[in-house]
Amino acid sequence: MSTEISQSKGVYISTYGCQMNVNDTERMYSLLEMINYAPVPSPDQADLIIINSCSVREKPVHKVHSEVGRYKGLKTQKPQLKIGVGGCVAQQEKKQLLTDVPLLDFVFGTDAIDSLPSLVQDLEQGEQKKVDAKFRHSEPYHVQTLVKNPGVSTFVNITKGCDNFCTFCVVPFTRGRERSRPLKHLIEDINSLTKRGVREVTLLGQNVNSYKSDCGANFGELMRAVAVDTDIERIRFTTSHPKDFNEELVGIMQDHRDKIMDYIHLPVQSGSSEVLERMNRGYTREEYIRKAKMILEIMPGAALSSDIIVGFPGESEKQFEETMSLLEEVPYESIFSFKYSPRPFTKAARWEDHVSEEEKSRRLTALQSRHKEIAFELSKRYRDSVVDVLVEVFDEESGRCSGRSTQNKLTHFNGRKEMIGGTYKVKVNEAFPQTLRGVLFEH
């Protein structure tokens, strides 16, 4: 055993961005293990460093540049060290990244993850400056979940890519056309994860609602099948597109509420119909509000959250105020809010960016501070109630268990280590905007 460890090489992956990337990093570690690379906790112990990059936030190339720059000393000390970039910036920049960041040895795109072991082996055999940034659109999307040590909760990719082309978003260009995994494979995948102790899966996709299996099953049918044909205890999903969220799906969620979480992340992006049209979102403010109300009518008590962009090109003060007033109409327990910034290849990047940086900051602060008050109010509804918490972590020092309630609220209570992986009823006695604290209600 010890000789095996000393013979393996070390890989360090730094991960930016969304859950899709977190999941891809897990996959990279598992694939690299097959060619004898073991994860190491810091870059100075690594023979291979990978930056799993994100291009949704600002200055993405610059971020890759500065991180690679930090490894310059390591590369001098250890010339055999290989440094590569994967993820969305790699997909977007392709071989240009090798020119812009000369210390890099390789670049691999979002569809090239499964080729990573052979790419690394080519480098070990002396090849230099490798790039694989091809989309494999014509290949079926068959990716069994690879996680080395699955915890209580794990991600399962159900779709890849996006065909929506919202005018601000780079994802259709960095993740390619939308593809879905066959329903049968997903059920097998989830069954094998439950056998390894997984209690909760998050079904992942850029737009989960447009899932379409080769057998014709849609997202609702997939959720029903996961609820009925697997032993998984909890099902979550992200991200939903409001235009594709329909009554049939909410009905299925309500029917399987014992397993499917009472939580829907439904990114609105803006409260102004005019802005939504320029964003190419495919719904108006009124349609969105109707959908949110429909969800809460069919699933009373469910929690909603959203993504919001302020300062989209041409967003007037009045249009921003419509986003502010949307907060009063849709009870979001949490929001993720961003200042608009242009992304390569996108339509909006070619439009004049009318809103100044100062004004974007002002709007963002106004939005966030109003939402904080709202979140606090909404959180009070949990006081004195009993929530079901799936315990994910136990902290020895404080004796505290932590996990998520069915409405996705992070909840803490005093417990024991053996409780990890179990679902417990917790009586809430303190409610903060984003977290709850309580006591064990039932043993």
Q: What is the SS3 string spanning 1-54?
A: CHHHHHHCEEEEEEECCCHHHHHHHHHHHHHHHCCCEEECCCHHHCCEEEEEEC
Q: Using the rule CB under 6 A, is 162 a contact of ligand SF4?
A: yes
Part in contact with ligand SF4 (CB under 6 A); list of ranges 28-36, 160-168, 193-201, 382-390:
160-168
**Does 205 engage in binding with ligand 5AD (CB under 6 A)?**
no
Residue (10 or 311) nearer to ligand 5AD, CB:
311
Could you give the CA distance from residue 280 to residue 360 in angstroms, rounded to a whole number? 21
Q: Which stretch binds ligand SF4 (CB under 6 A): 65-73, 76-84, 162-170, 179-187?
A: 162-170
Binding to ligand SF4 in span 169-228, by CB under 6 A: 169, 171-172, 206-207
Q: Report CA dihedral (394, 400, 402, 407) to the nearest 10 degrees.
A: 160
Which residues on neighbouring strands pair with residue 386, listed in sequence order? Answer: 427
User: Which one of residues 32, 56, 113, 116 is an interface residue with ligand 5AD (CB under 6 A)?
Assistant: 56
Q: Could you say whether residue 353 binds ligand 5AD (CB under 6 A)?
A: no
Q: Within 10 A of 414 (CB to CB), how many other CB atoms are there?
A: 12
Q: Does 159 bind ligand SF4 (CB under 6 A)?
A: no
Q: What letters, b where the CB count within 10 A reaches 16 and e where it falls short, cover 262-283?
A: bbbbbbbbbbbbbbbebbebeb
Q: What is the contact mask toward ligand SF4 in residues 234 to 273, using x (rule: CB under 6 A)?
A: -------x--------------------------------
| 40, 303, 309, 326: residue in contact with ligand 5AD (rule CB under 6 A) | 309
Structure tokens at 63: 């971020």
* Residue 157 is a binding residue for ligand 5AD (CB under 6 A): no
Instruction: Name which of ligand 5AD, ligand SF4, none residue 338 binds, using a CB cut-off of 5 to 8 Å depending on partner kind.
Output: ligand 5AD
C-alpha–C-alpha distance, residues 240 and 267, integer Å: 7
What is d(CA 147, CA 39) in angstroms, rounded to the nearest whole number? 13
192, 254, 273, 341: which one contacts ligand 5AD (CB under 6 A)?
A: 341
Segment interacting with ligand SF4 (CB under 6 A) among 64-72, 165-173, 328-336, 363-371: 165-173
For ligand SF4, which is the closer residue by CB, 165 or 376?
165
| The only residue of 8, 164, 341, 385 in contact with ligand SF4, by rule CB under 6 A | 164
Residue 340, contacted partner among ligand SF4, ligand 5AD, none, CB below 5-8 A by kind: ligand 5AD
The β-bridge relationship of strands 153-157 and 159-160 is unpaired
Residues 234-293 that bind ligand 5AD (CB under 6 A): 267, 269
Closest approach, Cβ 257 to ligand SF4, in A, equals 26
CB-nearer residue toward ligand 5AD: 135 or 351:
351
Task: Tell me how far apart the 2 most distant CA atoms of the chain are, in Å.
Answer: 67
* Cβ distance to ligand SF4 smaller for residue 150 or 205: 205
**Long-range Cβ contact pairs of 400-408 (< 8 A, separation 24 or more):** 403/152, 405/436, 406/234, 406/261, 406/262, 406/263, 407/261, 407/262, 407/263, 407/301, 407/302, 407/303, 407/333, 407/382, 408/236, 408/261, 408/262, 408/263, 408/303, 408/305, 408/333
- Identify the three-state secondary structure at position 402: strand
Binding footprint of ligand SF4 on the chain (CB under 6 A): 162, 164-166, 169, 171-172, 206-207, 241
Binding footprint of ligand 5AD on the chain (CB under 6 A): 56, 168-169, 267, 269, 307, 309, 338, 340-341, 343
